[in-house]
Every structure is written in C-alpha cells, then in structure tokens.
C-alpha cells in the first residue's frame, strides 16, 4: 500500500463505508513499518468511532493485528492454558487475584497485559509498583515461567501484535477508546497471539466503563466470544457492573496492596466476589462443573494457596516476595493522606468514571501519551452503594503528592460520591454470562 491510498480509506470510513480485510491488513502492516503516520491512523480511528465499524471489520481488524507480529506457542505446557482479560474499569485489580487462583488450581495462565488507558489503570503499571518487578518478558521467558509457576503477566513485546501496541497508545490520547470493534479487536488480538486455549473476558458496564450501556456491553462480550470461538479458542465472558469502584484502591500501589490483602483474606467485598466468580468461570471453560469450580477456587483462596502462588509469581518476575507479607511497607506511599466524610449517612451511587479521572489528575494515570506515572498516589474508596456511613467516618481517603493536589480532589468528592438521607439497595455485580452455562 502506498501512502497516497490512505486518505482514500480515511475518506471512505468518514463517509460510512467499509474497509476490506485485505485493506486493513495492508494498512496495519504499513503502520508498523512506519509508512503510515499517527495522524492518518488517528483520523481513521475517529472516523470509525463516529461512523461505526462493522462486525466484519472488527473480525478482520483482529486478524490484521495478530498478523502484524509473532504469536506465542503454549502447546508444550502441561496444564490447561487460560487467559483472562478485563475491558477496563476503576479499581479493577482482579488479575492479581485470579491469576494466582487459577495457577493454584492447576491451570497455566499466560497473560499479556497493557498500560493504563483513559481513566482506567493498567495491570503492568500496577505490577511495576512492586520493587524489582519486571514486565518485559520474551515469549520464551513467558512460556517457561508459566510452565514453572503457573502464571506470568507480561507486556506484549514489539514482536507480539505490534500494530495493537501502537493503536493502544494512540487511542488513549485521541478519545477513540470507546468503540466496540476497536476494543474487541484489541482484546482478542492479544488473546489469540498469547496462545491460550481458554479465554475468559470480564466486560464492564456502567459509568466507570467504556461501555456504559449494559446492552452494548453484552454485545461487545458476544462479539469477543464469537471472535475467540471462530479462531478455535474456548471463550466465555461475564458482563459485570462498573457503576462504582470494584476494589477499595484506585491507583497503582494502592490497588496492589488491596489485591494482596484480598489474597490474604483480610478484605472482603466486590473485588473478592468478582475474583472468585471469574476464576470459577475460567475453570468452567476448561471443563470443570460450575459448582465444583466455585468450591475449588474458594478453598484455594481461603487456605492461602493462591497467596503462595502470588508470591512465587512475584519472585519469578524479579519482585520482592516480602510484598506478599508487608505490602504497605514495600510499596511506594504518598506523603499526603487526607480523609473525606459525607454529610448524609447513605451512599446512593457514584460518578465512577470521575474517580478514575481524579486518580489520574493526582498522577496515577496518563493525561498524555508518554506521561510518567506516580505509582504511590490515588484514592481509597471505603464505601459502596447501599452502605450507611457513621457520622465522621471516612468514605474516601486521598493519597497525594502535595497538600494542594489533595485539597483539589477533596473539593470534588461531594459531587462524585452521591449520598442521601434514605437507604438504597446494593447493586448486582454479575449482570450476564456469555458463552457459559447460566446459573
């Protein structure tokens, strides 16, 4: 493809036309080779987000992204290979719990993860809060670690779906994240290239998700499952609520600490509940009966097996294993901590996305491509919808670099945490199961 043809493709997409599989493959090849620049791809992405990509374009783009680089061969691993992916949310650190849980259950978890995108945190950024932790693994290192430990989480190297890596960063800074086709192709290209035979997706919906409408989230889940199954992978999805933060921490080190305390049995709530749901669903994909799967993962969490597998995982990737015992001592901490309490006693809801944006403003997320993160800062959200807060008890704790940063966030919290004088019901967590037996 010559550069002169790219404006034709942009114009066709702008006018509501469809690109062919060959065109998308050639375009991604040229983009990776540097023959098409970011401005042109950004224009195409924006045209597609506004006009919409078709189902066929989503499938073809997935294939084009996979074809842009190498794939990982996991066929020599001895256990069932499993990969789990979340479409992104606020306070979502399930990977750090589900990966060790599945490894303890005898699965082989090879996960290629990403950096923070938009208002959501990235698993790789969170893991780098652990002293010494290394996320850059070669395909051979990834395979060997999974064989030895049962779980590995790594960045996609330049040779694994390089086109998606470039698109991922560009979407973050061009407001082109929230497109079902772009999300599905990005997610499934990494899953297909990662080589796992079983793929479980956590598709978020609500104010804190890219897919705010539950019907659209289900459609995204169905598209991802369809792509995976068509390419020979046993694929399933849960559609889950993101109208409020999932875990108590929002921010890189905070989320790691919360995940570790959940593994240690010291925290309960929605993060623990969903981690168990996801791990059980993944086991179902490998052929384990639903009731047995749930009982098994609950036992492995409660008896400390998952925590020990997390420790081995940290050691294998160069991190300090003491983080599993003393997370708040080993992880970076912010110098300024401020509590906020609501005036009304009942929590009625959240502007969940705004929580993610406020954490990013503190330095926990990227506002521009290439921004350096402050791994220590963020928010602790100590309440959920339906809770009653005692007078003077903290509902949110702000971890900031400066007093000025903390005060700016505190001033916004009354509009982010919705409260009232009357109680409301709790919000369901799992809204739908796709490609899995209904409970």
DSSP assignment of 196-225 = -SEEEEEEEESTTSS--SHHHHHHHHHHHH
421 is catalytic: no
Residue written as token pair 């893991």: 127
What percent of the chain is modeled with pLDDT above 70? 97
What percent of the chain is modeled with pLDDT above 90? 79
- Check 68, 86, 186, 275 and give the catalytic one: 186
How many other C-beta atoms are found inside a 10 Å radius of the C-beta of residue 330?
Answer: 22
Which residues make beta-bridge pairs with 242? none
In this structure, what is the dihedral angle of CA atoms 222, 225, 229, 233, given to the nearest 10 degrees? -170
Q: Are 223 and 180 in contact (CB under 8 A)?
A: yes
Quote the tokens at residue 173: 């800074």
The CATH topology of domain 331-420 is Aldehyde Oxidoreductase; domain 3 (3.90.1170)
- Check 85, 119, 218, 296 and give the catalytic one: 85
d(CA 236, CA 229): 9
Is the pLDDT score of 3 beyond 60?
no
Instruction: Report the chain's mean pLDDT, rounded to a whole number.
Output: 93
Q: Are 68 and 28 in contact (CB under 8 A)?
A: yes
pLDDT of amino acid 78: 84
Mean pLDDT of 377-400: 97
Going by pLDDT thresholds of 50, 70 and 90, the confidence category of residue 269 is very high
Going by pLDDT thresholds of 50, 70 and 90, the confidence category of residue 139 is confident
Mean pLDDT of 74-86: 90
- Check 63, 83, 125, 164 and give the catalytic one: 164
- Check 25, 111, 171, 433 and give the catalytic one: 171
164 is catalytic: yes
Mean pLDDT of 89-103: 96
Give 318-369 pLDDT, tens digit per residue: 999 999 999 999 999 999 999 999 999 999 999 999 999 999 999 998 766 6
- The dotted CATH code for 81-327 is 3.40.1030.10
Lowest mean pLDDT among 9-13, 71-75, 380-384, 411-415: 71-75
pLDDT of amino acid 76: 85
Residue count of the chain: 439
pLDDT of amino acid 437: 80
In this structure, what is the dihedral angle of CA atoms 349, 353, 357, 363, given to the nearest 10 degrees? 90
Going by pLDDT thresholds of 50, 70 and 90, the confidence category of residue 398 is very high
Lowest mean pLDDT among 27-31, 68-72, 153-157: 153-157
- Check 111, 119, 166, 190 and give the catalytic one: 190
Query: Where do the structural domains in the chain lie, given as residue ranges?
Result: 3-52, 81-327, 331-420
338 is catalytic: no
């Amino acid at each position: 493809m010559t550069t002169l043809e790219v404006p034709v493709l942009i114009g066709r997409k702008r006018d509501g036309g469809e690109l062919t599989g060959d065109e998308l493959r050639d375009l991604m090849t040229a983009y990776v080779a540097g023959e098409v620049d970011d401005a042109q791809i950004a224009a195409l992405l924006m045209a597609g987000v506004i006009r919409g990509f078709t189902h066929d374009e989503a499938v073809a783009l997935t294939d084009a992204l996979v074809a842009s680089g190498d794939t990982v061969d996991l066929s020599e691993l001895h256990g069932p290979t499993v990969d789990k992916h979340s479409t992104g949310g606020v306070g979502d650190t399930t990977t750090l719990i589900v990966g060790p849980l599945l490894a303890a259950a005898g699965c082989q978890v090879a996960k290629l993860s990403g950096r923070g995108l938009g208002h959501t945190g990235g698993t790789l950024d969170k893991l780098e809060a652990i002293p010494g932790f290394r996320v850059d693994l070669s395909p051979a290192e990834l395979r060997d670690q999974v064989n030895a430990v049962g779980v590995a989480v790594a960045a996609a190297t330049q040779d694994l779906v390089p086109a998606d890596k470039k698109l991922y960063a560009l979407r973050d800074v061009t407001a082109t994240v929230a497109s079902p086709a772009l999300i599905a192709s990005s997610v499934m290209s990494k899953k297909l290239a990662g080589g796992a035979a079983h793929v479980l997706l956590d598709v978020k919906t609500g104010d804190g998700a890219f897919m705010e409408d539950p019907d659209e989230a289900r459609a995204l889940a169905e598209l991802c499952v369809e792509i995976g199954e068509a390419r020979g992978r046993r694929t399933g999805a849960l559609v889950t609520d993101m109208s409020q933060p999932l875990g108590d921490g929002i921010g890189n080190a905070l989320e790691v600490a919360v995940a570790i305390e959940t593994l240690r049995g010291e925290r309960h709530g929605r993060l623990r509940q969903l981690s168990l749901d996801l791990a059980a669903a993944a086991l179902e994909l490998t052929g384990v009966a639903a009731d047995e799967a749930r009982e098994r993962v609950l036992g492995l969490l409660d008896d400390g097996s998952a925590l020990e597998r997390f420790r081995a995982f940290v050691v294998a990737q160069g991190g300090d294993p003491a983080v599993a015992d003393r997370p708040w001592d080993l992880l970076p901490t912010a110098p300024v901590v401020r509590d906020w309490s609501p005036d009304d006693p009942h929590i009625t809801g959240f502007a969940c996305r705004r929580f993610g944006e406020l954490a990013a403003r503190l330095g926990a997320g990227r506002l521009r491509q290439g921004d350096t993160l402050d791994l220590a800062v963020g928010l602790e959200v100590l309440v959920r919808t339906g809770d009653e807060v005692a007078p003077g008890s903290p509902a949110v704790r702000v971890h900031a670099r400066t007093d000025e940063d903390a005060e700016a966030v505190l001033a916004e919290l009354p509009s982010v945490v919705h409260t009232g004088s009357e109680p409301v019901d709790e919000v369901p967590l799992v809204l739908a199961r796709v490609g899995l037996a209904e409970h």
